[in-house]
Amino acid sequence: MQYSNPQLPEGINTSQEHPLKDFLILSAGVIGGLFAILTILILLTGYFSEKIPFEWESNFPVDKIIPFEQNADMPDYLRQVSSRVISQMDLPESMQIRVHYVNDDLVNAFATLGGHVFLFRGLLEKLQSEDELAMVIAHEAAHIKHRHPIMGASHGVVASIFMSIIGGSAGDSLTGMLLDTSGTAAVLRFSRDFEYESDEDATQVLLSLYGHAEGANRLFKLFSEELKGDVPFEFLSTHPITDNRIEQVREMTQSVSSSRTATLTPLPNDFITWLDSQREKHQQEKDSAKKSAQTE
Which positions touch another protein (CB under 8 A)? Answer: 1, 3-7, 10, 13-15, 17, 19-20, 22-23, 26-27, 29-30, 166, 169-175, 177
Taking the complex as a whole, the smallest distance from the CB of residue 25 to another protein amounts, in Å, to 10
Distance CA 26, CA 22 (A): 6
Taking the complex as a whole, the smallest distance from the CB of residue 15 to another protein amounts, in Å, to 4
Taking the complex as a whole, the smallest distance from the CB of residue 41 to another protein amounts, in Å, to 17
Distance CA 132, CA 205 (A): 12
Which CB sits closer to another protein, 34 or 246? Answer: 34
Q: Which residues partner with 102 through β-bridges?
A: 120
Which CB sits closer to another protein, 10 or 93? Answer: 10
Distance CA 149, CA 58 (A): 12
Taking the complex as a whole, the smallest distance from the CB of residue 20 to another protein amounts, in Å, to 7
Which CB sits closer to another protein, 3 or 233? Answer: 3
Distance CA 209, CA 202 (A): 11
Which CB sits closer to another protein, 38 or 85? Answer: 38
Taking the complex as a whole, the smallest distance from the CB of residue 161 to another protein amounts, in Å, to 17
Distance CA 281, CA 269 (A): 18
Which CB sits closer to another protein, 23 or 48? Answer: 23
Distance CA 111, CA 143 (A): 7
The helix or strand, by DSSP H or E, that contains position 106, with its residue range, turns out to be: none
Distance CA 41, CA 155 (A): 9
Which CB sits closer to another protein, 28 or 40? Answer: 28
Which CB sits closer to another protein, 61 or 171? Answer: 171
Residue 23 CB neighbours (<10 A): 10
Which has the closest alpha carbon to 90: 251, 201, 195, 244? Answer: 201
Taking the complex as a whole, the smallest distance from the CB of residue 76 to another protein amounts, in Å, to 50
User: With contact defined as beta carbons under 8 Å apart, do 104 and 265 qualify?
Assistant: no
User: With contact defined as beta carbons under 8 Å apart, do 145 and 93 qualify?
Assistant: no
Distance CA 118, CA 97 (A): 11
Distance CA 161, CA 262 (A): 49
Taking the complex as a whole, the smallest distance from the CB of residue 39 to another protein amounts, in Å, to 18
Taking the complex as a whole, the smallest distance from the CB of residue 44 to another protein amounts, in Å, to 22
Looking at this protein, which amino acid is placed at residue 26?
Answer: L
Residue 94 CB neighbours (<10 A): 9
The helix or strand, by DSSP H or E, that contains position 11, with its residue range, turns out to be: none
Which CB sits closer to another protein, 53 or 232? Answer: 232
